[in-house]
Structure 1
Amino acid sequence: MAADFSVVLDELNTTLKSIEAVLRIDDMRNEIADLEQQAAAPDLWNDVEAAQALTSRLSYLQGDLRRVEELRSRLDDVALMHEMAEEEGDEATTAETERELTSIRAVIDELEVRTLLNGEYDSREALVTIRSEAGGVDAADFAEMLMRMYLRWAERHKYPTEVYDVSYAEEAGIKSATFAVKVPYAYGTLSVEQGTHRLVRISPFDNQGRRQTSFAGVEVLPVVEQTDHVDIPENEIRVDVFRSSGPGGQSVNTTDSAVRMTHIPTGIVVSCQNEKSQIQNRAAALRVLQARLLVVRQAEQRAEMDALKGEGSSWGNQMRSYVLHPYQMVKDLRTEHETGNTASVLDGEIDAFIESGIRWRRQQETVDAG
């Protein structure tokens, strides 16, 4: 067992060195020191949005650095403990060090996935939109289940979120919803969730108790930054205002503060009704519209590249199946990752699906590049 332990220890040491190189630990320390200095400025909160972005970035980098340093310390400690336990013939401590090494491996595997997020916009915050598709009231209910799943996932990780817009369906559930996940790398992480999700269950809305298949779509966009230069001329936008509405269509606001924004050249429509004022809703809607247009521009550039290479995208649209009847199973149709614990998945435990999706995407990119 000692030989196995040494082999695993060497593997993990090599992987952690690779992670430290990719994350550029020294550069990270320098950036943290610089951000800490900026965060100490007395006028920091004069610009609330800039201050929030700065403190969020600082907190994220500090967390990353702490994780790497703790892993390095744990690896050094477990190597020393194992060596001493072997010398003294202490079987209980030897077994404990082997359990610790297994635990360290799980954390290193998780951190390694983060180093695979090196796409152009992967480090951005994310805008997530969920829409009900085929399946009537069951699809609307499923869309709401997915929204809750992602918000619970963010809550588990202590990632801040902001709901911009919810359009409620008449009987139950939602027609659509848009929310932001405000943490670095949210886009790179959640972008593997994009696509069509399928639910199979006994419909709670069918008085004959028949099995129903319904669909919901998930769209993930990177939050636009100033460097993206997504400028939209005012004459290309039509803005309509209306009253916010809650479940069942009842008005939740006595003023016309909700905003619907239409980009005339493309026909893209976004709305925002969850902020307190029309000005805030207008700003949030503009952010979502800019993100959509950025992705349109990306798609056009990708299509040009594919045309040059003479090929199209090989990635399928339907990506995950949630079966609640006649058996319990959530299965990713791309990675083959699956679990029978459907309740925990719908309660936000989706990290294993996300990690396998990120690894799968990297494999696809490697194949396409080859």
Structure 2
Amino acid sequence: MSVEFEAVLKDLAGKLSQVESVMDIDALRREVAELEEEAARPDLWDDPAAAQKVTSQLSYKQADVRKVTDLRQRLDDLGVLHELAQAEGDAASKAEAESELAQLRTEIDTLEVRTLLSGEYDARNAVVTIRSEAGGVDAADWAEMLLRMYLRWAERHGYPTDVYDISYAEEAGIRSATFKVSAPYVYGTLSVEQGTHRLVRISPFDNQSRRQTSFAHVEVLPEVEEVDHVDVPEKDIRVDVYRSSGPGGQSVNTTDSAVRITHLPTGIVVSCQNEKSQLQNKAAAMKVLQAKLLQRKKEEERAEMDALRDGGSSWGNQMRSYVLHPYQLVKDLRTEHETGNPSAVLDGEIDGFLEAGIRWRKQQETAAA
């Protein structure tokens, strides 16, 4: 085995050992066994919501165990393959080993990033809201492009999404949209996307084909769970109902099933028109409201801590530029991670930015501590 190949293989083996330690694979296997017992109970589906939670947790934890086990086996097999290729002077097998080494490095690095998600809410589902900001119709169009980017990212990973509400702009694009992504650690992963995203391009809405800069804001919140106890008294909210509508104001529902909730003490407004039932829409809107109130509480606590530290790091404002003209570049302003392929990024290939953001945030937290 060549010295360089052996060194990389040894480094990956050590990195995977650290991942196995942080994930506590033995404990994970015990959790899988317990969930398998629970899933086998004959009365499991008497409570469909609880059953869904059990089966989802089981599926994700089984996938984690399989992933780590598979990576360990592939590392062991790779060492043998490379030794044989060198002993026999087999160029094709050696090339195959080099390719597998590169693939393993990518997969282990990605799994290592997962272990950096240790925040209080990181393991939860994510509730994402996108709003158009400065830039007029271009900003509304940009907000819709970002919505598609995140939905495509979720689709690429097989993560279920649920669009709660979309407010369409008059000419093109959207004023805002709120959706949920369901997967383990998806809040921790997407939370690094929070902030203002800037687009520079030749405006398709300008008859003089001038360059336009537009902005959209991304807000990422953890889904609220029962253990959070976010109390929202009825007297503190106003509930309005209206008919759901799509682009151009066309009615997509003949009943007043859409719900808008205003939280009177804070002025926070949320809405949901995704479900057919008014009760279902109200329940979904309340979840979003509770998530926003929980986030507000966290921000107040963080502000207090920043004051004690005599100032903190604010990285959630303008955080990424997407330039389509006069050159092609997407660059994160915090991590310096960049790519010259905006089309791929806007089609959901954002894992490189997510991983760089997670590593950067961990460094910031370590430095602050």
The normalised TM-score by structure 2 is 0.97
What is the CA–CA distance in structure 1 between the aligned matches of 2:198 and 2:52, rounded to whole Å? 37
Which amino acid is the alignment partner of residue 271 of structure 1? S
Contact 2:194 2:316 in 1 (8 A): no
Q: Partner residue of 1:9?
A: 9
What letter is aligned with 2:84?
M
Tell me the alpha carbon deviations over residues 186-219 of structure 1, each in whole angstroms, 9 at most, x when there is no partner: 1000000000001111111111111111100000
Q: CA deviation at 1:350?
A: 0.6
**Per-residue deviation, 1:119:** 0.6
Aligned to 2:357: 357
The aligned residue for residue 175 of structure 2 is: 175
Moved more, 7-16 or 58-67: 58-67
Give secondary structure in 2 for the equivalent of 1:315. Answer: coil
**CA 1:323–1:158 in structure 2 vs 1: closer, same or farther (change >3 Å)?**
same
What amino acid maps onto 2:193 in structure 1?
E
Q: Partner residue of 2:100?
A: 100
Q: SS of 1:302's equivalent?
A: helix
| Distance in 2, Cα, partners of 1:342 & 1:292 | 31
Residue aligning to 1:343 = 343
Aligned to 1:308: 308
1:27 maps to a residue whose letter is: A
Question: Aligned residue for 1:317?
Answer: 317
Alignment partner, residue 143 of structure 1 = 143
Corresponding residue SS for 1:124: coil
Separation in 2, partners of 1:50, 1:38? 11
Query: How far is 1:53 from its partner?
Result: 2.1
State whether residues 128 and 180 of structure 1, in contact with CA within 8 Å, keep that contact through their aligned partners in structure 2. yes
Q: Is the 8 A contact 1:170 1:249 kept in 2?
A: no
Structure 1 gap ranges (5+): none
**What letter is aligned with 2:69?**
E
How far apart, CA to CA, are the structure 2 residues paired with 1:41 and 1:146?
43
Q: Deviation at 1:184?
A: 1.2
Q: How does 1:242-321 map to 2 (within 5 A)?
A: 242-321=242-321
2-side partners of 1:154 and 1:176: how far apart?
Answer: 19
SS of the aligned residue for 2:269 comes to: strand
Q: CA deviation at 1:316?
A: 4.8
Amino acid at match of 2:231: D
1:101 aligned counterpart, secondary structure = helix
Counterpart secondary structure, 1:199? strand
Secondary structure in 2 aligned to 1:162? strand
Q: Which moved more, 1:309-318 or 1:235-244?
A: 309-318
- Which structure 2 segments of 5+ residues have no match? none
- Please tell me the residue identity of whatever aligns with 1:81: L
**Matching residue's letter, 1:95:** A
- Which whole-Å CA distance do the structure 2 matches of 1:229 and 1:186 have between them? 22
Deviations 1:165-187 (CA, angstroms, capped at 9, x unpaired): 01111111110000000111110
1:36 aligns with 2:36: yes
Deviation at 1:325, TM superposition (A): 1.1
- Cα displacement (A) at 1:354: 0.6
- In the alignment, the residues of structure 1 paired with residue 314 and residue 296 of structure 2 have an alpha-carbon distance, to the nearest angstrom, of 19
Equivalent-residue separation in structure 2 for 1:267 and 1:287 (angstroms): 16
Is 1:261–1:270's contact at 8 Å kept on the other side of the alignment? yes
For residues 319 and 107 of structure 2, the distance between their equivalents in structure 1, rounded to whole angstroms, comes to 26
Q: CA deviation at 1:74?
A: 0.3
Letter in 2 for 1:235: K
Q: What residue in structure 2 maps to residue 74 of structure 1?
A: 74
1:268-316 deviations in whole A, cap 9, x for unaligned? 1100011110000000000000100111111111111112222133325
**Equivalent residue letter for 1:28:** L
Residue equivalent to 2:22:
22
What amino acid maps onto 2:263 in structure 1?
H
Matched to 1:259, the amino acid is: V
Opposite residue 364 of structure 2, the aligned amino acid is Q
TM-score between both structures, scaled by the size of structure 1: 0.97
Indicate the larger mover: 334-343 or 212-221: 334-343
Please tell me whether the aligned partners of residues 16 and 108 of structure 1 are also in contact (alpha carbons under 8 angstroms). Answer: yes
* Secondary structure in 2 matching 1:51: helix
Return the letter of the residue paired with 1:269: V
Q: Residue 54 of structure 1: SS of its match in structure 2?
A: helix
Superposed counterparts of 1:171-250, under 5 Å: 171-250=171-250
Shift of 1:99: 2.0
Alpha-carbon separation, structure 1, partners of 2:316 and 2:81? 48
* Contact map agreement 2:196 2:316 (CA 8 A) in 1: no
The residue matched to 2:240 in structure 1 has which SS?
strand
The 8 Å contact of residues 28 and 61 in structure 2, kept in 1 or not, is answered as yes
Q: Matched residues in 2 for 1:91 and 1:127: separation?
A: 50
Q: Quick one: which amino acid aligns to residue 230 of structure 2?
A: V
Matching residue's letter, 1:119 = G
The 3-state SS of whatever aligns with 1:196 is strand
Contact 1:129 1:220 in 2 (8 A): yes
What is the count of residue pairs matched by the alignment?
369
Per-residue deviation at 1:113?
0.6
The whole-number CA distance in structure 1 between the counterparts of 2:55 and 2:316 is 38
Q: String of CA shifts for 1:203-245, please: whole Å, max 9, x gaps.
A: 1111111111110000000001111111211111111111111
Contact 1:332 1:353 in 2 (8 A): yes
**Distance (Å, rounded) in 2 between the aligned partners of 1:133 and 1:51:** 41
Q: What corresponds to 1:49 in structure 2? A: 49
